[in-house]
Amino acid sequence: MQIITGQLTHFVNPLARRDNVYSEQQRKILDIDKSHEAIETIRLWPGYSVTPLYSLNSMARDADIGKLWYKDESRRFDLKSFKALGGAYAVIRQLQKALEQKLGKTPDTREILAGKWRKEIQEITVSCATDGNHGRSVAWGARLFGCSAVIYIHRDVSEGRKECMESFGARVIRIEGNYDDSVKMADAEAKANGYIIVSDTSYPGYTEIPKDVALGYTAMLSELVDQLGGEIPTHVFVQGGVGGLASTVCGYFWQLWGNERPRFSVVEPEQANCLQQSARAGEPVRVEGSLTTLMAGLACGEVSILAWEILKNGSDDFMTVSEDTVPATMRLLAQGYRNDPAIEAGESAVPGLAAALLARADQEIARKMQLDSSSKILLIGTEGATDPELYQKLVDIDSEI
């Protein structure tokens, strides 16, 4: 049974490695042995709780899939996004390093949360460029730990997302260009003003802090492994963007499960498919143009160089979904499909699910991906209604998009 319709492109990565060799170069980017400190730190933050992992049994049955798991990040702190973990964790790590240089010792998380170093921390400003959710995490982390934040957004970031970041006390600056232009502006302004850039993408000359962002994401993956109770998925579909989350999930499972790891697929919008185009070229490719897409958090034209080091061999498939699949999939989840739970999923949360359903319904793609009635698919619902007004418009079947 075909549950949704839409266009799907699929590219099988000829460089994918199915052995269990996770290289030393990749380990320098993401080492799960270093994730324990991040996990323990995040569990100390006020409001931390494990987000749900749902089994979408009705949808799996009708799509002729063995199991369909959906990790729901719409309940992550008050930010409704997995990004809450990465940006804020990188903020506290940078504050600790700055204080270590000044004090000769590294304050622990409890001391910072208790305000012991409030005066010193107030003198520090963190900054980043964002499509919305990462900047919200940086702004939230800055307020939680007591420093200032300056956030750069591009022309297509909604006013609702801008206002949310401002509600956390951040100064938000909108530029006329796209996401990649905002990254360059943030970098230049940080150098001119002495800000600490806390970015979730890496580029030449900037590679260390994004590693802490990735370590923050591993708190979610640690929860996931516990929730799976010993089961290993056969397939994972993850949203693309610059590749930060996708490479973290890929690298984490690669190290954890070796050659038993799931088949890994990255999913992007048609107009912002820098990862798929890079895979086709065999090297990082920049996508030019407006990058216009409903999937605002995935409107990225340039690959994170660290992410590419993992995904170029670790991802088996690179896929895109058409824009019309987004509201349709959001509605499926919002209404609760048959006996499945109702789930709040934002526009950048659903491409993985859309791609999985479309791939299973396409005989040729399903064959190439070894998708069948015994497949156990894991999806990460990366955000909830991070822009409530847009969310309501997209899930309202009678509204005009």
Annotated catalytic residues are 83, 131
Residue 351: which residues within 8 A CB-CB, separation 6 or more?
239, 240, 267, 268, 269, 295, 298, 321, 325, 326, 329
Q: Give all strands of the β-sheet with 125-130 in edge-to-edge order.
A: 171-174, 148-153, 125-130, 196-197
Burial class (CB in 10 A: 0-12, 13-18, 19+), 228: middle
Burial class (CB in 10 A: 0-12, 13-18, 19+), 30: buried
Distance of CA 239 to the CA centre of its chain: 7
DSSP strands (E only) in 28-119: 53-55, 67-72
Angle separating helix axes 305-314 and 274-281, nearest 10 degrees:
60
**203: which strand partners?**
206
**What 3-state DSSP class applies to 2?**
coil
Distance of CA 230 to the CA centre of its chain: 24
**Cα–Cα nearest to 378, from 242, 296, 257:** 257
Distance of CA 290 to the CA centre of its chain: 21
**125: which strand partners?**
148
**Cα–Cα nearest to 138, from 30, 213, 218:** 213
Residue 380 identity? I
Residue 192: which residues within 8 A CB-CB, separation 6 or more?
none
